[in-house]
Structure 1
């Protein structure tokens, strides 16, 4: 790993830790949201604040990805537990629909629930789920295309030429092959950055779509559940890391 890549990862890890701490602060606001008999308008500022927080994450992520997109496919700032649940550098959009189903069936001590979804809302969520499933499949097809590109005939030939040049001791030929390989790897990295952004766009579209279907009060309940899941996954991952050392 070169110095610039290490610095990039360290800086993003600092941003991510700060972002998670801020998410915890937002979660506290969600948990002390106005009671259910309050007007829907009272919930809207809370929802806007948290959605803006998520948009900031992707804005910063995309900016860093321009420097080193590959780092987001093996993020050192996440624990092995968090990495195990990644789908193309983030959460899988279809998980949001499973969470909605869980919230429909369960009630927390505070009474938070999505059990009151209307038939129209249920149809809206189902229609969104089908659209998102199709978009997930497109992302996976593009990811597969990028993986196949690694085994492309040109890449295989470059690897063979690199080996020959090294064994022959021809420094000039080796440098030339290294230059060609660097260009090819930059192309692969650009392809991975593209598929990462495709996946992130599906994530953002999923969140917006779900929130558009729900009432402001239901949005607070959904966002509280998603935030709690992400925060606790982070904490469980850190605890497991410490216990395994």
Structure 2
């Protein structure tokens, strides 16, 4: 019984040895030393065989705990390795995603650049096609003008040949207008010589008067493209340009010529013609003064800049300001031309209201003969022998 009690004590000590980490403050070497001393005491008192077996059992317990610690360390190492591998995999995935995003951005940028390049190429092709069509149109218009004998005058302003499409088109339109005008005047002359009735004669007179309206419309359209071409009278013969006033004839001068051609006139008609001539003269004087004021203002604008040692455009800001003001003033030239043509058109219309049908027919023939003689004079002047 004593031995069994000692064995029970040894077993309790063995159980205590199997729980070395029960308390964090427990001294593991002291426990081992104490247990070994007790085992030695038991071995002295008890059966040597039992003591030997108990000693082996006790001796094996430290090895068991060492094996458990090794397994725990291996588990922790394995978990650390797996965590490290997972972190590495996550890093690789993040790097892969970042690389994919960069590739997508580059792909989007390349697509946008390609789209813009296609748009620029398309616009360039359209511009080339538009330029080709314009060139073809200019060639056709030039061919038509040459076919009708309209060429630029070598004695005029050399810039006329480069004045643009508007001037060239107007020259061709004016040539067609003159051709139609001569045809209508021929019909009017035949009707007057044949002593046609008033109804028939009125129809021909109205046709000629309406044809005059066409030339004013053509001039207005051409002035929007090149007002200097209309004002300079390069579409007229040299003798006609000598009597030119703001792109056409003076209404008051024509009325003076017609008074002697239309006799006999009634007193009321004569008074109407005189009043019309006076009002036309006043309007012409006002427009002439306006043109002179415009020329003076334009000259002062161009001369207002301070002299520069580097040339007329030395001070760029001042130069551009002067040019802007001058351009604005030149824009009023079209208005002067439009007012002058309105005066000419209204004078012809009022003249027809004052005169009878036959007097209007004779007036239109007189106007045509006057300008025909001016054109003939120009032809003779250009064909004169050169000394």
User: Which TM-score bucket, shorter chain as reference?
Assistant: 0.7 to 0.9
Instruction: Show the counterpart of 1:194.
Output: 335
Matches within 5 A, 1:154-233: 154-158=301-305, 160=306, 163-166=308-311, 173-174=315-316, 176=317, 179-233=320-374
Instruction: Name the TM-score, length of structure 2 as normaliser.
Output: 0.54
Instruction: Name the TM-score, length of structure 1 as normaliser.
Output: 0.82
Matched-pair contact (CA < 8 Å) for 2:287–2:336: yes
- Of 282, 291, 294, 1:143 maps to 291
Structure 2 counterpart SS, 1:166 = coil
CA gap 1:206/1:189 in 2 versus in 1, 3 angstroms: same
Structure 1 position 178, deviation (Å) = 5.4
- Of 253, 260, 264, 1:116 maps to 264
CA gap 1:138/1:84 in 2 versus in 1, 3 angstroms: same
Larger Rg: 2
Structure 2, gaps ≥5 residues long: 1-158
Structure 1 position 186, deviation (Å) = 2.3
- Of 153, 164, 175, 1:17 maps to 175
Give the ranges of 4+ consecutive aligned residues of structure 1 lying more than 6 Å apart after TM superposition.
none
Matched-pair contact (CA < 8 Å) for 1:8–1:67: yes
Matched-pair contact (CA < 8 Å) for 1:19–1:57: yes
- Of 227, 230, 234, 1:76 maps to 234
CA gap 1:191/1:165 in 2 versus in 1, 3 angstroms: farther
CA gap 1:164/1:212 in 2 versus in 1, 3 angstroms: farther
Give the Cα separation in 2 of the matches to 1:238 and 1:37.
33
Structure 1, gaps ≥5 residues long: 104-113
Give the Cα separation in 2 of the matches to 1:98 and 1:156.
41
Structure 2 counterpart SS, 1:196 = helix
Structure 1 position 225, deviation (Å) = 0.9
- Of 212, 232, 236, 2:377 maps to 236
Structure 1 position 182, deviation (Å) = 3.9
Give the Cα separation in 1 of the matches to 2:170 and 2:318.
32
Structure 1 position 15, deviation (Å) = 1.6
Structure 1 position 22, deviation (Å) = 1.6
Instruction: Show the counterpart of 2:274.
Output: 126
Give the Cα separation in 1 of the matches to 2:160 and 2:189.
43
Give the Cα separation in 2 of the matches to 1:201 and 1:167.
39
CA gap 1:46/1:126 in 2 versus in 1, 3 angstroms: same
Structure 2 counterpart SS, 1:43 = helix
Matched-pair contact (CA < 8 Å) for 1:69–1:193: yes
Matched length? 228
The one of the two structures with greater contact order (alpha-carbon pairs below 8 A, sep at least 6) is 1
1:62-102 per-position Cα deviation (integer Å, ceiling 9, x unaligned): 11111121222223222221111101111011122222222
CA gap 1:70/1:178 in 2 versus in 1, 3 angstroms: farther
Instruction: Show the counterpart of 2:202.
Output: 44
Give the Cα separation in 1 of the matches to 2:165 and 2:381.
26
